[in-house]
């Protein structure tokens, strides 16, 4: 029959030789390849026990930052939301009340702050746009979730732990880069 392409190969159907019928040489050849791999450096990583280091420029999950006294830095100016090309950030501003100076650094703060991680492309433009050093992208990533709603991160997930009352958690969340 005429082949459809020029890549067709005729199958070699000549009978096996005595040497080939023994199979032992082929088994020995296969085993030598297997043993050869046992002494090579493994390209795989035993995740999650061992984690591959991220690139120094890796941009991960967002963190809403606090100042050294534990006050929220965000002043709900909206610049990050305007800069976001994915329209992933929404917020609601509120006025700071007398007596809340220890909670919020500025007179205005974000009563609600949400990032839709399904929209986010982790470009880092929100971090660059922020004049208050209030948001940055950390060295961790958004964990998987079963529902779409679970990817809408609110202040409870984004806000960094208080450096005064939870210094260890704060240092861990802050990471090495910031």
Q: Detail the residues annotated as belonging to a binding site for [4Fe-4S] cluster.
A: 74, 77, 80, 84, 120, 123, 126, 130
Q: Is the Cβ–Cβ distance between 126 and 84 less than 8 Å?
A: yes
Window contacting ligand SF4 (CB under 6 A); options: 3-11, 127-135, 146-154, 164-172: 127-135
Neighbours of 38 (CB within 10 A): 7
Q: Give the residue ranges of DSSP H helices in 110-149.
A: 125-129
> Counting runs of H as helices and runs of E as strands, what totals does the chain give?
6, 5
Interface with ligand SF4, residue 63, by CB under 6 A: no
CB of 136 to ligand SF4, least distance (A): 9
Interface with ligand SF4, residue 160, by CB under 6 A: no
Residue 78: helix, strand or coil by DSSP? Answer: coil
List the beta bridge partners of residue 159.
64
Interface with ligand SF4, residue 78, by CB under 6 A: yes
Residues making contact with ligand SF4 (CB under 6 A): 74-80, 83-86, 88-89, 91, 110, 115, 120-126, 129-130, 132, 134-135
């Amino acid at each position: 029959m005429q082949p459809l392409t020029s890549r067709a190969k005729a199958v070699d159907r000549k009978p096996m030789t005595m040497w080939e019928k023994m199979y032992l040489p082929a088994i020995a050849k296969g085993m030598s390849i297997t043993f050869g791999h046992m002494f090579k450096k493994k390209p795989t990583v035993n995740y999650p026990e061992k984690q591959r280091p991220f690139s120094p420029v890796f941009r991960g999950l967002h963190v809403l930052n606090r100042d050294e006294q534990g006050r929220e830095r965000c002043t709900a100016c909206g610049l990050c939301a305007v800069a976001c090309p994915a329209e992933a950030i929404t917020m609601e501003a509120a006025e700071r009340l007398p007596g809340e100076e220890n909670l919020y650094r500025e007179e205005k703060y974000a009563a609600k702050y949400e990032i839709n991680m399904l929209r986010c492309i982790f470009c880092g433009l929100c971090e660059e746009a922020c004049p208050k050093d209030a948001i940055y992208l950390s060295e961790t990533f958004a964990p998987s979730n079963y529902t779409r709603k679970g990817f809408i991160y609110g202040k409870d997930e984004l806000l960094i732990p208080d450096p005064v009352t939870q210094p260890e958690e704060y240092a861990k969340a802050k990471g090495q880069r910031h």
